[in-house]
Amino acid sequence: MFDQILQFILTGITVGATYALVALGFAIIYNASDVVNFSQGEFVMLGAMSTIALSAGNGLPLWLAAACSVAMVICVGLMLQRFAIAPARGASVVTTIIITIGASIFLRGLALLLWGKDIFGMPHFSGEVPLRIGEATLLPQNLWVMGGASVLVLGVHYFFNHTTHGKAILACSCNRTAAHLVGINVGMMMLIAYGLSALLGSLAGILVAPITFTSYDAGVMLGLKGFSAAILGGMGNPMGAVAGGLLLGLIESLAAGLISSGYKDAIGFVILLLVLFFRPSGLFGKASAERV
């Protein structure tokens, strides 16, 4: 029984780390602009798909292909901000969210045209020999996902709390006009926020692709799960988003293991609803006061 639960927990943390990375991307853009970027899942998919295309199709070594694809996805993120979000500056938050949904459909269509409907796999970074912890097992790639997620999360934490640019982005989210008045280049900060989200998304995609495979529509479900995780943790709080991701992964895995695998998604969503009912701003979100 103990071994079983250990396995459920390990599985939950691996899956949760993926959700956490996607959720973190949501939280960063939300932090900077109050916009929920629904093309976050597509960043994840693009990161994985373009890495595979570059390494398998063009014969680049995996690390180089990954680096190129991260750079490409960052460009996509910047272009999304510059050409789709920025021109709608005066629009309401809801309108901007709808623009991001449109962008996600566009990116999915583009991936479909470029790479077709096939499912693609990626080689594991350091082999597929499972590591044993008691009776439970773990793939080296799972450690890559967890390790990668930890490094990125700490990096984001440092960026927002200890660098001028990070603090400037937070300032923009608090009060755009005031930030502008004290000399912060608001447009530039928005670009940085989108670029950073795209960077996180694409890295998440590359880290998990060897385990999960990928296809042109893989971003839809990941985006949805990452969004749920961000809501669960508290939308404006990057560390809350990470906690929400890990929690959602654990809930799903334990629900599947101990209750019923058929109802695990339902159980996850019921818990999400309960949290929203009792704590509308999420588990770790600050209760929001209406800004006047």
Q: How far is the CB of 255 from other proteins (least distance, A)?
A: 9
User: Which of 70, 203, 218, 242 is the binder for other proteins (CB under 8 A)?
Assistant: 218
Q: How far apart are the first and last CA of the chain?
A: 55
Assess 80 for contact with other proteins (CB under 8 A). Answer: no
Distance CA 20, CA 12 (A): 12
Assess 137 for contact with other proteins (CB under 8 A). Answer: yes
- Residue with token string 């799903």: 252
Comparing CA positions, the residue from 19, 33, 21, 20 lying closest to residue 202 is 21
User: Which of 212, 239, 279, 281 is the binder for other proteins (CB under 8 A)?
Assistant: 212
Of the candidate spans 81-89, 132-140, 179-187, 188-196, the one that interacts with other proteins by CB under 8 A turns out to be 132-140
Site residues for other proteins, 81-120, by CB under 8 A, read: 117-119
Strand ranges inside the chain, DSSP E = 131-133, 136-138
Residue 42 identity (one-letter amino acid)? E
Assess 170 for contact with other proteins (CB under 8 A). Answer: no
Of the candidate spans 170-178, 196-204, 205-213, 283-291, the one that interacts with other proteins by CB under 8 A turns out to be 205-213
Assess 140 for contact with other proteins (CB under 8 A). Answer: no
Q: How far is the CB of 94 from other proteins (least distance, A)?
A: 27
Q: How distant, in Å, are the alpha carbons of 39, 121, 138, 216, 218 from that of 81?
A: 11, 30, 39, 22, 22
Q: How many degrees, rounded to 5, is the angle at CA 154 between CA 141 and CA 128?
A: 5
Site residues for other proteins, 243-272, by CB under 8 A, read: 253, 256-257, 261-262, 264-265
Comparing CA positions, the residue from 40, 61, 36 lying closest to residue 107 is 40
Q: How far is the CB of 213 from other proteins (least distance, A)?
A: 5
Distance CA 209, CA 18 (A): 10
Assess 40 for contact with other proteins (CB under 8 A). Answer: no
Judge contact between 74 and 47, C-beta under 8 A: no
Distance CA 14, CA 250 (A): 9
User: How many residues lie near other proteins (CB under 8 A)?
Assistant: 34
Residue 117: beta bridge partners?
Answer: none
Nearer to other proteins, 9 or 97 (CB): 9
Assess 8 for contact with other proteins (CB under 8 A). Answer: yes
Assess 15 for contact with other proteins (CB under 8 A). Answer: yes
Distance CA 153, CA 226 (A): 15
Site of interaction with other proteins (CB under 8 A): 4, 7-8, 10-12, 14-15, 18, 117-119, 121, 128, 130, 136-137, 139, 208, 211-213, 215, 218, 220-222, 253, 256-257, 261-262, 264-265
